[in-house]
Amino acid sequence: MNMFPPHPDAHHDPDGLRQALSRLPEHSPQAGTWATIQARAVARRRTRQRLRRMLPLAAAASLLLALGLPTLLDQDATPPGTQTATQPTTLHTVQTSTPAIRHATSTTQTAPATLAALQSRSMRMEQWLSELRAGGAPLQGPALARAVDLQDRIGLVDLQLSAPSDAAARKTLWQQRVNLLQDLAMLRVSQSPVSDQHAMAESRGAALQL
């Protein structure tokens, strides 16, 4: 408002009041006003920065929560006729094998939908984990040992899955695989700096919606 030349009627000054008011002197604020303003500005900036730091933390917390919620597994129904992995990928080859798996189709799919959901979930989590590893710092110490242990156990499950078994057994094995991947994901997130957790939280959407 009023950033332009005033309307002509504002210059109407038959009794000289405008002129008299315009001649009044300017006044100065109290000494130290700038110091107060500066302090308030800095305090508000710190508050905003804290909020900005807290948001990724909150997102990371929600990520951990989401990964730990078994109910999510039941929401991952794979649409009929789309890709379904019947054999797990390995953690070491996931980046190169994922596209092939995505386009793989099973002609022998007889297991219930929950098995397909577990397989789909497993594939997405592996892909997400591979992206985390590519973008994050390597694990060290106890965290590295824990990660190696989890990967070994996943490899054991993969070995069992490669052998012939009935549908119920396969479902159990796939459930174990997903659980181990969740543990691995949580380990990864917990070992990452706060700044990286924001990116993880953002990619969480991709992990859960692929």
Footprint of other proteins (CB under 8 A): 1-7, 9-11, 13-30, 33-34, 36-38, 40-42, 44-45
* 69-73 contacts, C-beta under 8 A, 24 or more apart: 72/121, 72/208, 73/114, 73/117, 73/118, 73/121, 73/175, 73/178
**Least distance CB 199 / other proteins (angstroms):** 24
**Least distance CB 54 / other proteins (angstroms):** 19
Q: CA dist 88 to 64, 153, 167, Å?
A: 23, 13, 15
Q: Between 2 and 108, whose beta carbon lies closer to other proteins?
A: 2
Q: Between 15 and 166, whose beta carbon lies closer to other proteins?
A: 15
Cα 81 from Cα 57, distance rounded (Å): 38
Q: Between 31 and 134, whose beta carbon lies closer to other proteins?
A: 31
**Least distance CB 25 / other proteins (angstroms):** 6
**Least distance CB 71 / other proteins (angstroms):** 41
DSSP code, position 92: T
**Least distance CB 3 / other proteins (angstroms):** 3
Q: Between 34 and 69, whose beta carbon lies closer to other proteins?
A: 34
**Least distance CB 15 / other proteins (angstroms):** 4
Cα 122 from Cα 88, distance rounded (Å): 8
Cβ proximity of 101 and 83 under 8 Å: yes
Q: What is the dihedral of CA 103, 109, 115, 116, to 10 degrees?
A: 30
Cα 117 from Cα 208, distance rounded (Å): 12
Q: Between 5 and 193, whose beta carbon lies closer to other proteins?
A: 5
Q: Between 25 and 79, whose beta carbon lies closer to other proteins?
A: 25
φ, ψ at 193 (rounded to 5°): -65, 160
